[in-house]
Amino acid sequence: MRNLEKLLLEDPYSMDKQKKNLFFKNYLNELTLHHSDNSKEYKKLINYLGYSVRKKHEIDKIPFIPVRLFKELKLLSVNKDEIIKVLNSSGTSGNKTSKIYLDKKNSLNQVKVLQKIMNKVLGNERLPMLIIDKKIKNIDRTNFNARIAAINGFSLFGRDHTFLLDEKNNINYVELNKFLSKYGKNKFFIFGFTSFVFENLIEKFKMNKITLDFKKAILLHGGGWKKLENKKISNDVFKKKIFKKFNLQNIFNYYGLVEQTGSIFIECKCGYFITSNFSDVFIRDSNFNLLKDNQKGFLQLISLLPTSYPGHNVLTEDIGEIINTKKCSCTIKGKRFLVHGRAEKAEIRGCSDTQ
């Protein structure tokens, strides 16, 4: 799996369809073999399917596992003493959360790939960063939930970090004005979960309490769409409200799972998520059959990064749709897709039948 190092030297959206299919076929078969040899639980799952890891299969025939299994099983492909941190998915009180086990190699590759992708959004310079959250104290550096992991991960690409909220979750206009007076006339980076951004910047924010606007900012936001769906706020409405209030045009939505941290999907200017050199997506129906472009079904996510745990090929409980590239005017290479939210009462119980 040394080819990943070579791929890290390229533009993250450089591979055409033919080259990518060949690379992914070779790499993912090798990665599947690695996990089968090193994870007892994963080996049991694919043996149950009668799947042969010694043969080279097409990408869409390589077995995927339901993302829910990370809540039920301890899935790791390295020795326990090699684990340096554990990521936990977000979850409501009383519900199980996914646990993702990272060794040094896996963690480092996540950072490298995330940096490649973020450089396309922010440029190569670390920008002053405004975080739409409160400062998190007493962080356990070995055990993160999804929110803390995201803030810490994206903070690597900013500097002079300023948190919008105080300890009581009120907007700290004093600190914000200090930040804007210092950096507001040039490009700066705003990061936050979508629901936090909407609640604080759109619903609560008082424009008469700041001295400069946000028109030079780049806003990256993701997750937290469920609360907005309940308020009938679409992605398009969200952007229009942000633009109307702050004159902010550079707004990027991102999609990703804690189970595949690092290989996130960034929204293009046409409003579609795009796969990078390190990721791919398929859409499947409730019987796990592949669907064609412009058909809605369960999102299957593929990532080249997971080596310390078998998260390279997972079926999510999110409904997605691959969009024909002809509908997008952007020239970036990669599949275009939309995410339509979580499936109603989704619970994908078993492994795929890939035969």
Sheet holding 99-103, edge to edge: 99-103, 83-88, 143-145
Nearest partner of 155 among 134, 137, 129, judged by Cα: 129
**Tokens coding 172:** 């700290």
What pLDDT sits at residue 141?
A: 59
Q: Does residue 239 carry a pLDDT above 60? A: yes
What pLDDT sits at residue 244?
A: 92
What pLDDT sits at residue 345?
A: 62
What pLDDT sits at residue 220?
A: 96
Nearest-angstrom CA–CA distance, 137 and 129: 18
What confidence tier does 2 reach under pLDDT thresholds 50, 70, 90? low
What pLDDT sits at residue 94?
A: 52
What pLDDT sits at residue 118?
A: 95
Paired residues of 135 in beta bridges: none
Contact assessment for residue 305 and residue 109, using Cβ atoms and an 8 Å cutoff: yes
Q: What is the mean pLDDT of residues 11-35?
A: 95
Nearest-angstrom CA–CA distance, 66 and 314: 6
Identify the CATH number of the domain defined by range 3-342.
Answer: 3.40.50.12780
Specify the length of the chain in residues. 355
- 91-134 per-position pLDDT tens digit: 544 578 889 999 999 999 999 999 999 999 999 999 999 999 99
Residue recorded with tokens 């390190």: 278
Q: What is the mean pLDDT of residues 166-195?
A: 94
- 43-78 per-position pLDDT tens digit: 999 999 889 998 999 999 999 999 999 999 999 999
What confidence tier does 328 reach under pLDDT thresholds 50, 70, 90? confident
What pLDDT sits at residue 165?
A: 95
Q: Does residue 177 carry a pLDDT above 70? A: yes
